[in-house]
Amino acid sequence: MKKIQDSEIGQREFFSNIKNEYKFGLLIGMTMVIAMVMIVVAMFLYDQSGAAQIDLSRPGYERVRAEMDTRKIEEYNSTGPLDEASVIDFKQLFDKEYEQIQDVDVFGGGPLSDQIIGVN
Amino acid sequence: MQKTAFIILGLVVSVFAGFLFFGSKNQVLAVDGDINHSPQVSDDSGISEDERNQHIIQNCTAIKSKLEQLQQSDHLLRVNRGSLYESFSSKLMSRFNGRLAYNNYDASIFMGITANYDRQVADFRSSFQDYDRNLKKLKQIDCRKKPTEFYSQLLITREARKKLHSLEVGIRNDLVSYRQQTSALMQELKNNNSQILPVINSGINGAEE
C-alpha cells in the first residue's frame, strides 16, 4: 500500500517537475496543436459544406475567375399598384435575366461522353 | 532550451504525421470503395472492355487534363448559375409575389411555382455537391493502373451529371411557367382596363374557398 502511495507521489512530482520546467514549451506546443486541429476541422467543413465548390479564389482557378458573372440583378419593388405598367416592368426585368440562360443548356452529358473524354 | 525546442518539434512532427496518415487513408479508402464496386461496362460504344482499357491507359494524361478543365468550368457554371437562380427567386419572383399579395391578388399559382422553383434550386445545390464529389473521386483514380475502376467511376459521375442536368432543365421550366403566368396576368389586366380583380376579399392571403 505504501509502495503504491510512494509511486503515486513520485509520479505527481515527476509531472509537476515537467510542468514547471517546460511550461513555456508546452504552452507553445499546445497552441500549435490546437491551431492545427482547428485548421483541419475548418478545411473539412470548407470541403463538406460545398463552399469549396463556389470558391473561385483558389489557386488554379485564375482562368475561370475572369469569367465570373459579377452583374447585379435589379430588384423588383414589392410594393406599389398592380397594373399593366407594373407587370410590364417586371417582365422586362425578368426577360433581361432570362435571356442569359434561355437557350444555354448546361451540365449536359456531352463533356463526359466516351468520345469527348477520350476513352473510346 | 534545447529540450523545449525538441518537445515543440516532436509535437509538430506528430501532428503532421497524423494529418498525412489520415489524408492518405481517406484516399486509399476512396479507391478501395471503387474496387469493390462491380465494373459496369457499357456496350453502347461497341468496343470490348480490353480495348477501352487500352484507350484509357494510352490517353490517361489527356483524360486527366480534360477532367481538370471540366471541373473548373463546372465550378464556374455553378457559381454563375447558382447566383442567378437565387437572384431570380429573391429579387424577382418573391418580390412580385409580394406585390400581388400587397394588392390582395390571389398569388397562389405564382407562389406554388416559386416554391417548386426554390425546391429545385436547393436540389440543384446538393446534386452539384454529389456530382463534384464523384468527379473528384474520378480524378483521384489512377487511370493507368486501374482503367476498369476508372471507367466504372466515370459512369457513376455521368449519372450524377445527368441528374444535375434534369434539375437544371426543371428550374428553367419553372421560370418559363412563371413567365407564362405573368403574361396571363397581363392579359387579365388588359381585359379589365388595368383594374385588378381582387380574389381575396377577406384579407387572408392565399385563402381558398
Contact B175, B117 (CB under 8 A): yes
Instruction: Of B157, B92, B155, give the one whose Cα is nearest residue B131.
Output: B157
- pLDDT band, very low/low/confident/very high, at B205 (cuts 50, 70, 90): very low
Q: What is the pLDDT of residue A65?
A: 83
Q: What is the pLDDT of residue A74?
A: 85
When pLDDT is averaged across residues B165-181 and rounded to a whole number, the result is 91
Q: What is the pLDDT of residue B208?
A: 35
Q: Residue A40: what residue type?
A: V
Phi, psi angles (nearest 5°) of residue B139: -65, -30
- pLDDT band, very low/low/confident/very high, at B204 (cuts 50, 70, 90): very low
Helix boundaries (H) for chain B: 2-36, 49-58, 60-87, 94-102, 108-140, 147-191
Q: Which of A33-37, A84-88, B170-174 bottoms out in mean pLDDT, i.e. has the lowest?
A: A84-88
* Percent of chain B whose pLDDT exceeds 90: 27
SS3 A28: helix
Q: Residue A34: what residue type?
A: I
d(CA A66, CA B76): 10
Q: What is the pLDDT of residue B4?
A: 60
d(CA B130, CA B137): 11
Please name the residue of chain A whose CA is at the shortest distance from the CA of residue B138. A112
Q: Which of A11-15, A113-117, B34-38 bottoms out in mean pLDDT, i.e. has the lowest?
A: B34-38
Q: What is the pLDDT of residue B2?
A: 55
- Nearest by CB to residue A91, choosing from B55, B98, B182, is B182
SS3 A110: helix
Cell of B189: 389586366
Cα radius of gyration rounded to whole Å, chain B: 27
Give tens-digit pLDDT for B66-86: 888 888 888 988 988 888 899
Give tens-digit pLDDT for B30-68: 333 333 333 344 445 567 778 888 888 888 888 888 888
d(CA B183, CA B30): 51
Q: Could you identify the residue written with the cell 483521384?
A: B140
Q: What is the pLDDT of residue B6?
A: 57
Q: What is the pLDDT of residue B18?
A: 54
Contact A54, B78 (CB under 8 A): yes
Q: pLDDT: is A118 or B180 the higher one?
A: B180
Q: What is the pLDDT of residue B42?
A: 45
Please indicate whether, in this complex, the C-beta atoms of B62 and A22 are within 8 angstroms of each other.
no
Contact B67, B161 (CB under 8 A): no
d(CA B62, CA B83): 32
Q: pLDDT: is B186 or A104 the higher one?
A: B186
- DSSP class of residue A76 equals P
Instruction: Give me the helix-helix angle, B108-140 and B94-102, nearest 10°.
Output: 170
When pLDDT is averaged across residues B104-128 and rounded to a whole number, the result is 91
Cell of A81: 399598384
Q: pLDDT: is A15 or B13 the higher one?
A: A15
Contact A53, B75 (CB under 8 A): yes
Instruction: Of B56, B169, B74, give the one whose Cα is nearest residue B120.
Output: B169
Instruction: Of B86, B67, B84, B87, give the one whose Cα is nearest residue B161.
Output: B67
Please indicate whether, in this complex, the C-beta atoms of A95 and B179 are within 8 angstroms of each other.
yes
- Nearest by CB to residue A94, choosing from B94, B100, B179, is B179
Contact B58, A39 (CB under 8 A): no
Q: What is the pTM of this model?
A: 0.70
Q: Which of A29-33, B37-41, B133-137, B159-163 bottoms out in mean pLDDT, i.e. has the lowest?
A: B37-41
Please name the residue of chain A whose CA is at the shortest distance from the CA of residue B178. A94
* Percent of chain A whose pLDDT exceeds 90: 15
Cell of B111: 407562389
When pLDDT is averaged across residues B159-184 and rounded to a whole number, the result is 91
When pLDDT is averaged across residues A15-25 and rounded to a whole number, the result is 78
Please indicate whether, in this complex, the C-beta atoms of A83 and B56 are within 8 angstroms of each other.
no
Cell of A47: 470541403
Q: Could you identify the residue written with the cell 398592380?
A: A82
Q: What is the pLDDT of residue A11?
A: 79
Q: What is the pLDDT of residue B123?
A: 93
d(CA B206, CA A78): 17
